[in-house]
Structure 1
């Protein structure tokens, strides 16, 4: 196909159109989206499933449609050459396809308007323009209808911009995260599409030998190539001092865990088990599919007819999934869970199975785990992190109760799926380091503070002595499952929140010797989590002034400071934690009967009864 160049002036938007940010309308016809874009519009479609939702006659709307899976646009536009369009509109299904396509977008030359149309989305989101961009004169976000659907976002600029940079920033900001996608591993792709998840530095090569082009200033560590290129070996690149590794058998593509998350989990959905075919269309499992699935007790599918990628999107999001058939490429742990589906009438059993499914999927099929595996194959040991690509965690254990210390250390020693450092801060007594080392299996960091030191200062001393970038506050008497540390790190990854923690969903009331489960919402944004589970970065802790120097309510003080500074708090599931409510010895007060207020209790058990279904 031959592209004509633009001559003369662009067809300009009506000068009466309001500048800057326009008021939101209830819904806007799709054709109006096309008509409202400046000049001729280049429409980039990422997936065949989105094509039927385009206007029937795009040319009548002064639009040219290009399919990204078969285009011949240049990777870089020649300097001084202007394209035959003034605006670019990217049409894609949802955030997952947007983030996958971001790395393979071609250059479209200088344009004045850039838009994104998510045809399978319902939620409107606004992207914050980057400070180095040309000033934005118009930012319009709209829900759409007839003949298509979804939501759109359009940026109008004072001067021309390169659409690729704008669209990639939209992909970056499409997920809620206070931490941008950062990885030291540089990848390239040859003979196949990029893997899901955002990797904006990934080079798309027609030939893997292009990875060692002497002119390439950022050569890849790994070239992920199609099976036909098996056995390809590359020469050394002068920048790397080594040859990039060609991988043609990376396994199943990962799932973008920042898009398909457990957020919005429903403990008691109103609808029965449903066949996946009743929830999906030609595009397979999308974000909207997952939202619809949350209203059902479980989803049923056959791997003989359903792409395995669709299964993984469901299980990553924690959807209970009843499967027939198998795929040998699935992680054995996940396959075993799917083959042993429990009865799902009991909400606790259903909750626990969902947690196990999402945990196994995250550990073996997330982008973190996938990239960590590639780093290992490339011999880039320094780029590898902890299990499943998770960061290391420093557990802060501050205690005044010497009789609780050994049990608390044993609970840390039992943690699995995370690389953990234990920092013990004794408050008013000195611990036996040899005994704690025996229980833990390695030496803890051991600090001792006088009895009159404020509790907040004790915790600050522990945090400042920690080695890892992420810290978790653990209470000495509460119960934690062996997966507690892992699941908090997992929630921190998929939520992107500044602080994550558990709900105080399970409580053991010593006064009554009973365990209660409360109707606490989980997998949601919040302003409060259990203090014995606060997990956040040391950088954030430092920025808010560490733990406040107080004797009581240290957890609430920290959460208040984080929220006041614009930070976010996420509450994950509650099956890893039991709050132990004694008659005395807490740094907070509260009536034990307040835990049993009418309408707040889901069920009760006599005695101490941890939710071991979650193990």
Structure 2
């Protein structure tokens, strides 16, 4: 289907020139492009190997429009969505296209198709025709026709984001300039990344440089002196320059990774967290065991003699690669040989960010680019531990946290900016909105919030029908403030319905992100940061968790139900909802109802075309007492279809126990039984 679509496009493009591009691992439809009948002035281009900063066609510039010529057809064929994201960055070199054909050879089922989302007001008024089709073997084809031509990079970004939700994820706040081979790996999916020459200058947008920071890559030879005094530049080696072959005459494979900066992590190209992430995580524990090892000259993931994935030479795995190994119970990391230190680090970091359970022997010194937290985690579990479903998921979550925080694109560019002395935008402020009718639980609830880490937060405490001057409330608020956390207290009329009080609380919030919080449930110390990570990689308007752990207070019993997680789904726990404030504004806030405001909010988001994502549920434990819940179901609901149960209060290890209530201890917090 993909090859046929391109053949048809070549026949109908008239007398105009065609540029056919491919990117991603070779094989199948990607190699078939070379067999098509092309005219002498047509161009067949491997985007993945094209150095950033070098024009594709004669007369083409390196930034902005740059005098780029227009052609009748541009076709971009990617092996995966990850490769399509890389093509977005490289497409700044491509000419404007009257007919743009975008094809992806395989898209995993948990992703959407290639139906584009228009980029902005009036930008696509010239769109004449749009076609979207499924292709064989999970592929998709999208064709767009613009009589006056269109810029390829923003159009590719629009095609990608159409199937991935309206939100494009938080940016780094740094406009990137790129030069050199593999430079696109440093800023995948960025249509605003500016190609530059080896010495500059950075192109201007009117009177302002198009980039804040330039990242130059080198393949062994030293780069010339950077000449643009207005924009700083940092240099990094490609994975090819860091291969073992290039180092055998110096310090050999046992040497530590060479870096120019103080942090070896910042020497490694980041992973693309929008696609290399835990989405599609499989909780099965009966799958096979595989090895990340070497087969000939290439790193592979192999089980029982079968090669499941051939790791790209640069070490960057794709969403398709992750989809192929989701059924594996665990992957053992073999450090005996890889393409080189940087490629090996990128491969392991990609697997960890994808939530793939990994185990390893001692990590060699040359893999310091992983970062110490991830290095420690690789050796913290044994293969036998992965036979237990809960232990396997806990290990996966720890790995993905460490990898996404250390190796995500946003994290890397903020670190590069700090190295170059460029100020970075503060992390988003999360406003935790807590509405309660129970003064004796205020100290308990605030203690849960106070121990959150890896996130900036404030609290808006809505007291529904009672005064902040009550001793337990006053003491708890004072204790929370003494820890250095910001808190706003709102005394709401007890006659107002729950939804109205929540809207009043949101109105008093200062953050751009709002998180809903219950007064009597337990939250792990990384609950908010996990939600913020999933907000970044899912592109969803709302994120929340599945209801996995429940403490049945009447029975003194903890129940675990291993629900599916890490996929788009509207069934999330109301007390774990996290969303951008603008989303609340888009749907008119919470409905003024006494109960069911969470389900009604989620319904409104879906009706407005929003995307809801369910991440893992191991950082939250629901308390179920006898009465007083807005969600009324009997205890049998929690006892049916459970995976495991324990006597007493038994949180999983990611909960890290419980916090001591602030102020006067509340009697409702008493429990018995086991501990993590």
TM-score by length of 2: 0.78
- SS of aligned partner of 1:55: helix
What's the counterpart of residue 197 of structure 1? 188
Structure 2 residue 290 is the aligned partner of structure 1 residue 274: yes
Unaligned stretches of 5+ in structure 1? 1-27, 238-242
396-405 vs 301-310, which moves further: 301-310
For the residue of structure 2 that corresponds to 1:328, the secondary structure is helix
Match of 1:226, SS?
Answer: strand
CA gap of 1:446–1:138, structure 2 versus 1, over 3 A, is closer
Q: Relative to structure 1, is the Cα distance of residues 122 and 89 closer, same or farther in structure 2, using a 3 angstrom cutoff?
A: farther
- Asked if 2 retains the 8 angstrom alpha-carbon contact of 1:138 and 1:154, the reply is yes
Q: In the TM superposition, what are the counterparts of 1:301-450 in structure 2 within 5 Å?
A: 301-303=333-335, 304-305=337-338, 307=343, 308-323=345-360, 325-326=363-364, 327-342=367-382, 343-381=385-423, 383-386=424-427, 391-431=428-468, 432-433=473-474, 435-440=476-481, 441-442=483-484, 443-450=486-493
Q: How does 1:273-292 map to 2 (within 5 A)?
A: 273-275=289-291, 276-277=301-302, 278-281=307-310, 283=312, 285-292=317-324
Change (3 A) 1:334 1:41: same
Q: What does residue range 165-564 of structure 1 map to in structure 2 within 5 Å? A: 165-173=154-162, 175-179=164-168, 182-192=171-181, 193-194=183-184, 195-211=186-202, 217-226=208-217, 236-237=229-230, 243-246=231-234, 248=236, 249=260, 250-275=266-291, 276-277=301-302, 278-281=307-310, 283=312, 285-303=317-335, 304-305=337-338, 307=343, 308-323=345-360, 325-326=363-364, 327-342=367-382, 343-381=385-423, 383-386=424-427, 391-431=428-468, 432-433=473-474, 435-440=476-481, 441-442=483-484, 443-564=486-607
Q: Structure 1's 435 and 142: CA in aligned 2 closer, same or farther, altered over 3 A? A: closer
Matched, 1:117 2:103: yes
Aligned to 1:23: none
The CA distance in 2 between the partners of 1:515 and 1:180, in whole Å, is 36
d(CA) in 2 for partners of 1:354, 1:409: 29
> After alignment, is 524-533 or 283-292 more displaced?
283-292
Query: Hey, what does 1:17 align to over in structure 2?
Result: none
CA distance in 2, matches of 1:520, 1:479: 18
Distance apart, 1:348 and its partner CA? 0.3
SS of the counterpart of 1:210? Answer: coil
Deviates more, 1:68-77 or 1:402-411: 68-77
**Structure 2 contact 178–216 (Cα < 8 Å) conserved:** yes
Higher relative contact order (CA 8 A, sep 6+): 2
How many angstroms apart in 1 are the aligned matches of 2:565 and 2:77? 33
Q: Aligned pair in 2 of structure 1 residues 88, 181: CA closer, same or farther (>3 Å)?
A: farther
RMSD over aligned Cα atoms: 2.9
Aligned length, in residue pairs: 572
Write the distance in 2 (CA, Å) between the matches of 1:588 and 1:48.
50
**Residues 1:66 and 2:69 are matched in the alignment:** no
**1:450-488 C-alpha deviation (Å, 9 max, x unpaired):** 322222222112111111110111101101000101001
Distance (whole Å) between structure 2 residues aligned to residue 403 and residue 426 of structure 1? 11
SS of 1:329 mapped into structure 2:
helix
Aligned residue for 2:26? 49
Q: Unaligned 5+ residue runs, structure 2?
A: 237-259, 261-265, 292-300, 657-676
User: Which segment is superposed worse, 53-62 or 369-378?
Assistant: 53-62
Secondary structure in structure 2 of the residue aligned to 1:265: coil
Q: Normalization by structure 1: what TM-score?
A: 0.85
| In structure 2, distance between residues paired with 1:103 and 1:137 | 25
3-state SS of the aligned residue for 1:290? Answer: helix
- Shift of the 315–75 alpha-carbon distance from structure 1 to 2, 3 Å rule, reads farther
Measure, in 1, the Cα distance between the counterparts of 2:442 and 2:388.
Answer: 35
SS at match of 2:599: helix
- Checking the alignment, whether the CA contact within 8 Å between 2:100 and 2:152 is kept in structure 1 is yes
Q: Secondary structure at the match of 2:338?
A: coil
For 2:577 and 2:66, the matched residues in 1 are separated by 52
Alpha carbons of 1:229 and 1:318: their partners in 2 closer, same or farther (altered >3 Å)?
A: same
> 1: CA distance between counterparts of 2:609 and 2:163?
19
Asked whether the 8 Å contact 1:349–1:613 carries over to 2, the reply is: no
CA deviations 1:248-303 (Å, max 9, x no partner) are 45421111111112122211154211231421136463222211211110123334
Q: CA deviation at 1:79?
A: 10
The 3 A distance-change label for structure 1 pair 466 and 51 is same
Cα 1:534/1:165, change in 2 over 3 Å: closer
Contact residue 523 and residue 571 of structure 1 kept, 8 A: yes
Shift of 1:529: 1.0
Q: Residue 43 of structure 1 contacts residue 90 of structure 1 at CA under 8 Å; is this kept in 2?
A: yes
The Cα offsets for residues 358-383 of structure 1, whole Å up to 9 and x where unpaired, read as 101111111121122133234443x3
Aligned to 1:54, the other structure's residue is in SS state helix
In 2, distance between residues paired with 1:363 and 1:36?
43
